[in-house]
Structure 1
């Protein structure tokens, strides 16, 4: 009786039951699909964020590597600059001439004191004198002008040359570091932009192909790439092969540092020599000054050189002419650095080189670059003064060296400047233990300028 009533109830409400079940099934299926699509969308957004983080990390790593490459390049260029300096500012020949004069004087005094009846002593003295005279004659034959000068003249020239060389090196190495940073960051950014443009074009093309409704629907159901694969895909997105002409243009741009190393630095030398004579010319090698007094005079030299070369409003392009050749001399510089085949390719199209030079000129003439260069030079001054103070202190006993008012002969400072030049020009790609270069490379404003060039803020039209 009850079962028949139940069957009757089902028959009467069968339509409503089927409708309710259908609605519930539809809602469940729709909810499941919606949840799946939402989860898929969220996962895609997570992938995009992961890719963006990966790309930013790649950019950061590439920027860091570029700054390291700049330091490596400087280590490679230092020996070249040392060879150039040896032609104009050779200190060793003056030191050798002074030693020869001192040795000849001591030998002359010794021979006068030696008795003539002492055959052995006379024989030894004669042999030594003949040997030293032979060496002196050889040196005189190589450079009669140096040998004919008096001891005082040699000391004065050594004083001036050692100071001029040390200060010129500070300015040139600081300028070379600035120029190298600008060049490499511009080229690295250019390579990165080419890669980014290529990826963007490929992505846009892919989006156009997937623009139809069918492809859009299929895109939601095809298998998703994992985060690792996304990272691998970004890693594999390498820039296209650079054309030979573009490569030659970029190499030509880098080779323009030849100008600073071989010609531009002479402008520094000329101004430095003038101011060294102005502030140190009245001091004799035997005159004594304290470290603070010497520092004050050296500060005056740096200040005057900065005023003549870096802060001269009348010659805004003077720094540019030191770091880069005049357009009329570009061909001359390129002939010194490129082989004939590369020159031929370069002459076919210099568009890239012109663009790079235009931006480099704007960077060099900017206020930011002037501030960075002055900061590097100030850091160079601090370094050389620390080295000089340490070197001159070695000439005295430790208890005397602790006295800040201790006076030292100018001759002591002269030899300390010579030692400082050797420390600054120390090179070695394996050890890379040049403390001067490491100190300049760690200047914060230099990294800030490099980052702005790498990001292309405000320099390129």
Structure 2
């Protein structure tokens, strides 16, 4: 054996411990590094999964928020016909229009009768049939106990009622939209809060047995299929419907039914205030008096301004309108049972009386929202938008009606901006505007007035704050 191989073997034998130690260290470091890299990758994967869950949850919340606002508009379309029926009992304009039409027809008939009488006198034909018909009609009117109003009285009544109805509608529907938005957003947020608590409790209970470091490392080590893990996480994050007891359901339905108060009682407070201000601005005008569109707009502006002063808080008196608005939109506590008896069947009413905890919480939260200055600002903004819509409609209607009466020559002589119209023309235009505002149809949903109010930005801002902010809750 050569001396070189012997020296190499002896060198290896001398340093064999060091070589084996170095190899072991390298192998250990490599293995540890691989394990650490794998654990880091698993940790990053789980963080990515959490981000995916959060994005999905936020998207679900956003979609549900959008759907809630659409549901509010649908609800308004459902309630408008109910409000129109209630208004017809006290502010029926069509009855006055028919009475004026009958006056016109009777006047035309009497003129024809006079012409006929002159012909009869010359020919000797009897007029007994006409006389009998007239006397019979007079007797019928007296038997019905109806006092015959003059044409001027009918026009004045139509003028006043059309203005009162138009302004009252704008305030009531604006308030109804605000109330509906608050109610539905409060309910939807409550549902999401209950769902979030339920999911958190379920996750906490599932992780209660895995608090040790070994369990944490094992959770990172086990390799679930990525696709199945992501889908499972998304399924966990979905807003699963929480089982609702019959009592809770009835509590929520009772809460939503409180809009009955505004539609049947609360709007009369609006009407009383509006009537006073309409009489102040338009009471001295006769149907034949003429106004320009600018003059009419200024008078109507004063009506809205004076009404706002009586309803909404101002800088000098912060409590001027908040309490009054709350009593208009919601019944007093002593009247809640009266409202619920009008809207719930006896069985549901009895179940509600067994436990009104949820109902009380919802009422309290809604009252706090209505007491806030933000809600007053939103309602005032909606009313201002209503005024803009009314003036656009009145101006369009007045121009159309006047153009039908004008000849081409008169149209050339008078500029539209300086044109003056009889108050009777404004009256009919206001009546037509009321019909446009109260136009309903859930399928078509073509009410321009409701669409404009629903698109007010500050209303969406308030809805978003109620939907996502828990500051109103105790």
Fold equivalence (TM over 0.5): yes
Which residue in 2 is equivalent to 1:64? 66
Q: Distance in 2 between matches of 1:36 and 1:78?
A: 63
1:421 aligns to 2:427 (yes or no): no
Which residue in 2 is equivalent to 1:272? 274
- DSSP 3-state at the match of 1:289: strand
Q: Is the 8 A contact 1:78 1:425 kept in 2?
A: yes
Residue 316 of structure 1: how far off its partner (Å): 4.1
Structure 1: which 5+ runs fail to align? none
Q: Distance in 2 between matches of 1:49 and 1:357?
A: 36
Which residue in 1 is equivalent to 2:323? 317
Q: Report the CA distance shift for 1:25/1:402 in structure 2 as closer, same or farther (over 3 A).
A: farther
Which residue in 2 is equivalent to 1:344? 350
Q: Distance in 2 between matches of 1:82 and 1:142?
A: 31
Which residue in 2 is equivalent to 1:459? 472
Q: Report the CA distance shift for 1:126/1:418 in structure 2 as closer, same or farther (over 3 A).
A: farther
Find the partner of 2:42 among 40, 43, 50. 40
Residue 318 of structure 1: how far off its partner (Å): 1.0
Q: Report the CA distance shift for 1:31/1:141 in structure 2 as closer, same or farther (over 3 A).
A: farther
Q: Is the 8 A contact 1:47 1:230 kept in 2?
A: no
Residue 59 of structure 1: how far off its partner (Å): 1.3
- DSSP 3-state at the match of 1:408: strand
Q: How many residues matched?
A: 454
**Worse overlay, 450-459 or 252-261:** 450-459
**Worse overlay, 178-187 or 201-210:** 201-210
Q: Distance in 2 between matches of 1:10 and 1:138?
A: 140
Residue 116 of structure 1: how far off its partner (Å): 3.8
Q: Distance in 2 between matches of 1:291 and 1:139?
A: 43
Residue 110 of structure 1: how far off its partner (Å): 2.3
TM, length-normalised to structure 1 = 0.91
Q: Is the 8 A contact 1:246 1:352 kept in 2?
A: yes
Q: Is the 8 A contact 1:66 1:184 kept in 2?
A: yes
**Worse overlay, 50-59 or 207-216:** 207-216
Residue 142 of structure 1: how far off its partner (Å): 11
- DSSP 3-state at the match of 2:211: coil
Which residue in 2 is equivalent to 1:26? 28
Which residue in 2 is equivalent to 1:207? 207
Q: Distance in 1 between matches of 2:455 and 2:142?
A: 47
Which residue in 2 is equivalent to 1:219? 219
Residue 396 of structure 1: how far off its partner (Å): 2.9
Which residue in 2 is equivalent to 1:446? 459
Q: Is the 8 A contact 2:288 2:423 kept in 1?
A: yes
1:160 aligns to 2:160 (yes or no): yes
Residue 13 of structure 1: how far off its partner (Å): 3.0
**Worse overlay, 383-392 or 439-448:** 439-448
- DSSP 3-state at the match of 2:291: strand
Q: Distance in 1 between matches of 2:239 and 2:459?
A: 30
Q: Is the 8 A contact 2:56 2:237 kept in 1?
A: no
Q: Is the 8 A contact 2:326 2:371 kept in 1?
A: yes
Which residue in 1 is equivalent to 2:418? 405
Residue 304 of structure 1: how far off its partner (Å): 1.0
Find the partner of 1:86 among 67, 88, 112. 88
Q: Is the 8 A contact 1:256 1:333 kept in 2?
A: yes
Residue 65 of structure 1: how far off its partner (Å): 1.1
Partner deviation per Cα, 1:255-308 (whole Å, 9 max, x = no partner): 111000000000111111111111101000011000000000001111111112
Residue 445 of structure 1: how far off its partner (Å): 1.1
Structure 2: which 5+ runs fail to align? none
Residue 139 of structure 1: how far off its partner (Å): 10
**Worse overlay, 316-325 or 399-408:** 399-408
- DSSP 3-state at the match of 2:207: helix
Q: Distance in 1 between matches of 2:140 and 2:234?
A: 66
Q: Is the 8 A contact 2:262 2:329 kept in 1?
A: yes
Which residue in 1 is equivalent to 2:337? 331
Q: Distance in 2 between matches of 1:402 and 1:457?
A: 56
Q: Distance in 2 between matches of 1:84 and 1:26?
A: 86
- DSSP 3-state at the match of 2:168: helix
- DSSP 3-state at the match of 2:192: helix
- DSSP 3-state at the match of 1:284: coil
Find the partner of 1:355 among 361, 368, 371. 361
Residue 3 of structure 1: how far off its partner (Å): 5.2
Residue 43 of structure 1: how far off its partner (Å): 1.2
1:431 aligns to 2:437 (yes or no): no
Equivalent residue runs for 1:192-271 within 5 Å: 192-224=192-224, 225-226=226-227, 228-230=230-232, 232-271=234-273
Q: Is the 8 A contact 2:96 2:154 kept in 1?
A: yes
Q: Distance in 1 between matches of 2:367 and 2:359?
A: 12
Residue 178 of structure 1: how far off its partner (Å): 0.6
TM, length-normalised to structure 2 = 0.89
Q: Is the 8 A contact 2:53 2:234 kept in 1?
A: no
Q: Report the CA distance shift for 1:138/1:344 in structure 2 as closer, same or farther (over 3 A).
A: farther
Residue 174 of structure 1: how far off its partner (Å): 0.4
